[in-house]
Amino acid sequence: MDTIEETLTEMLETPINKQHACAFSAICPTRLVLNRIADKWTVLVVILLQDGTKRFSHLQREIDGISQKMLTQTLRGLERDGLVTRKVHATVPPKVEYDLTPLGHTLKDLLGAIRTWSEINIEAVLNAQKSYDTLNEK
């Protein structure tokens, strides 16, 4: 059995042809993208950045429950994936701003729709969970 590192290495070294990209394939790098954009913190960061440039402290204030470490990791991952830009201003203390790239902007409608669906359907989901838990109590 391959280790995670071996699988990731194979995924990254496999040439991708758009006609053959398939997220259902274990070695397709699109799974890495799905992992990034399906993350709850990514969804919230992208939604906040859709209206324009934001400072780190603003993002942290707006996203209730996110730690500084998790926000940093999320922003670094988004920057690495070409979805967010990071600009550091040479001031004391340093001023760091984040913005969506053109590629990041392509996610706005999709992630906004997921947010809207979640907010509209939360009651039905919670009721389904409650019913499931009641039926499966031991």
pLDDT for position 19: 52
- pLDDT mean values, one per 10 residues, the chain (138 residues): 58 58 84 89 96 96 97 97 95 93 95 94 97 91
**pTM reported for the whole predicted model:** 0.79
pLDDT for position 51: 93
Residue 31 CB-half CA count within 13 A: 14
3-state secondary structure of 19: coil
3-state helix, strand and coil shares in percent for the chain, rounded to the nearest 5: 60, 10, 30
* CATH number, domain 40-135, options 2.40.50.140, 1.10.10.10, 3.40.190.10, 3.40.50.300: 1.10.10.10
pLDDT for position 111: 93
Q: Which two tokens stand for residue 91?
A: 């001031």
Q: Which residues in the chain are classed under CATH 1.10.10.10?
A: 40-135
Give the separation between CA 77 and CA 112, rounded to whole angstroms: 20
pLDDT for position 96: 93
Q: Which two tokens stand for residue 75?
A: 């922003």
pLDDT for position 25: 85
